[in-house]
Structure 1
Amino acid sequence: MRGFGVDDAKVAEIVEAYREDAPAMAPSDTLFAVCSEVQFRVPLAHVAEMKSATPGRARAWMVNLT
Protein backbone atom coordinates (compact mmCIF):
# COMPACT_ATOMS: atom_id res chain seq x y z
CA MET A 1 0.00 0.00 0.00
CA ARG A 2 3.05 2.26 0.02
CA GLY A 3 2.19 3.27 -3.54
CA PHE A 4 -0.81 5.04 -2.06
CA GLY A 5 1.30 6.80 0.56
CA VAL A 6 0.01 4.67 3.43
CA ASP A 7 2.53 2.88 5.63
CA ASP A 8 2.17 -0.68 6.89
CA ALA A 9 1.21 0.42 10.41
CA LYS A 10 -1.75 2.44 9.10
CA VAL A 11 -2.86 -0.45 6.89
CA ALA A 12 -2.72 -2.80 9.90
CA GLU A 13 -4.82 -0.29 11.87
CA ILE A 14 -7.42 -0.13 9.09
CA VAL A 15 -7.55 -3.95 8.75
CA GLU A 16 -8.01 -4.34 12.51
CA ALA A 17 -10.85 -1.79 12.50
CA TYR A 18 -12.61 -3.71 9.72
CA ARG A 19 -12.14 -7.01 11.56
CA GLU A 20 -13.59 -5.52 14.76
CA ASP A 21 -16.52 -3.96 12.92
CA ALA A 22 -17.37 -7.03 10.83
CA PRO A 23 -15.77 -10.17 12.29
CA ALA A 24 -17.74 -12.45 9.93
CA MET A 25 -16.32 -10.69 6.86
CA ALA A 26 -14.34 -13.05 4.62
CA PRO A 27 -10.62 -12.27 4.29
CA SER A 28 -11.10 -11.41 0.61
CA ASP A 29 -13.90 -8.97 1.48
CA THR A 30 -11.65 -7.38 4.09
CA LEU A 31 -8.92 -7.01 1.46
CA PHE A 32 -11.28 -5.29 -0.98
CA ALA A 33 -12.63 -3.00 1.74
CA VAL A 34 -9.14 -2.00 2.88
CA CYS A 35 -7.98 -1.40 -0.70
CA SER A 36 -11.00 0.84 -1.30
CA GLU A 37 -10.37 2.69 1.95
CA VAL A 38 -6.70 3.31 1.16
CA GLN A 39 -7.22 4.12 -2.51
CA PHE A 40 -10.25 6.40 -2.23
CA ARG A 41 -11.38 7.55 1.23
CA VAL A 42 -8.00 8.30 2.82
CA PRO A 43 -6.74 10.54 -0.02
CA LEU A 44 -10.10 12.30 -0.35
CA ALA A 45 -10.18 12.99 3.39
CA HIS A 46 -6.70 14.49 3.11
CA VAL A 47 -7.81 16.77 0.26
CA ALA A 48 -10.90 17.86 2.21
CA GLU A 49 -8.77 18.64 5.27
CA MET A 50 -6.34 20.70 3.18
CA LYS A 51 -9.17 22.61 1.52
CA SER A 52 -10.87 23.35 4.83
CA ALA A 53 -7.59 24.57 6.32
CA THR A 54 -6.98 27.05 3.50
CA PRO A 55 -7.98 30.57 4.61
CA GLY A 56 -10.68 32.16 2.50
CA ARG A 57 -11.87 28.87 1.00
CA ALA A 58 -15.28 27.32 1.44
CA ARG A 59 -15.58 24.41 3.82
CA ALA A 60 -15.28 20.89 2.46
CA TRP A 61 -17.83 18.29 3.51
CA MET A 62 -17.52 14.53 3.34
CA VAL A 63 -20.39 12.08 3.58
CA ASN A 64 -19.94 8.40 4.41
CA LEU A 65 -22.68 6.44 2.62
CA THR A 66 -22.50 3.00 4.18
Structure 2
Amino acid sequence: MSTLDDRAAEQPTTTAGVGNVMTFVVGFVLLLGGFWLMDRSFAQGSGLLFAAGIVACGLAYFIPTSILGRTRR
Protein backbone atom coordinates (compact mmCIF):
# COMPACT_ATOMS: atom_id res chain seq x y z
CA MET A 1 0.00 0.00 0.00
CA SER A 2 1.48 3.32 -1.00
CA THR A 3 0.98 6.53 0.85
CA LEU A 4 0.39 9.98 -0.52
CA ASP A 5 4.07 10.82 0.00
CA ASP A 6 5.23 7.86 -2.10
CA ARG A 7 3.11 8.89 -5.07
CA ALA A 8 4.27 12.49 -4.87
CA ALA A 9 7.91 11.41 -4.84
CA GLU A 10 7.48 9.33 -8.00
CA GLN A 11 6.01 12.11 -10.14
CA PRO A 12 8.59 14.21 -12.01
CA THR A 13 8.47 17.95 -11.68
CA THR A 14 8.09 20.23 -14.68
CA THR A 15 11.30 22.13 -13.89
CA ALA A 16 13.38 18.96 -14.15
CA GLY A 17 13.10 19.13 -17.95
CA VAL A 18 14.73 22.57 -18.05
CA GLY A 19 17.62 21.34 -15.92
CA ASN A 20 18.12 18.33 -18.17
CA VAL A 21 18.18 20.52 -21.27
CA MET A 22 20.66 22.94 -19.71
CA THR A 23 22.90 20.06 -18.62
CA PHE A 24 22.84 18.70 -22.16
CA VAL A 25 23.63 22.10 -23.70
CA VAL A 26 26.52 22.80 -21.32
CA GLY A 27 27.93 19.31 -21.82
CA PHE A 28 27.61 19.51 -25.59
CA VAL A 29 29.30 22.93 -25.70
CA LEU A 30 32.13 21.61 -23.53
CA LEU A 31 32.53 18.56 -25.76
CA LEU A 32 32.61 20.54 -29.00
CA GLY A 33 34.83 23.19 -27.42
CA GLY A 34 37.23 20.48 -26.32
CA PHE A 35 37.35 19.06 -29.84
CA TRP A 36 38.02 22.54 -31.21
CA LEU A 37 40.81 23.15 -28.68
CA MET A 38 42.46 19.85 -29.59
CA ASP A 39 42.23 20.73 -33.28
CA ARG A 40 43.77 24.16 -32.71
CA SER A 41 46.59 22.62 -30.69
CA PHE A 42 47.83 20.75 -33.76
CA ALA A 43 47.87 23.94 -35.82
CA GLN A 44 49.79 25.84 -33.13
CA GLY A 45 51.87 22.96 -31.82
CA SER A 46 50.76 23.55 -28.24
CA GLY A 47 50.57 20.67 -25.81
CA LEU A 48 48.92 22.88 -23.21
CA LEU A 49 46.07 23.69 -25.58
CA PHE A 50 45.62 19.98 -26.28
CA ALA A 51 45.51 19.25 -22.55
CA ALA A 52 42.86 21.95 -22.11
CA GLY A 53 40.80 20.22 -24.80
CA ILE A 54 41.07 16.90 -23.00
CA VAL A 55 40.01 18.55 -19.74
CA ALA A 56 37.00 20.17 -21.45
CA CYS A 57 35.93 16.84 -22.97
CA GLY A 58 36.42 15.14 -19.62
CA LEU A 59 34.23 17.73 -17.92
CA ALA A 60 31.55 17.18 -20.56
CA TYR A 61 31.38 13.56 -19.39
CA PHE A 62 32.09 14.12 -15.69
CA ILE A 63 29.50 16.82 -14.93
CA PRO A 64 26.32 14.88 -15.77
CA THR A 65 27.53 11.48 -14.59
CA SER A 66 29.43 12.22 -11.40
CA ILE A 67 28.51 15.66 -10.12
CA LEU A 68 24.79 15.56 -10.95
CA GLY A 69 24.47 11.78 -10.69
CA ARG A 70 22.31 11.41 -13.78
CA THR A 71 23.15 7.96 -15.04
CA ARG A 72 20.86 5.15 -16.06
CA ARG A 73 21.27 1.94 -14.11
Q: TM-score, normalised by structure 2?
A: 0.42
| Higher helix proportion (structure 1 or 2) | 2
Higher relative contact order (CA 8 A, sep 6+): 2
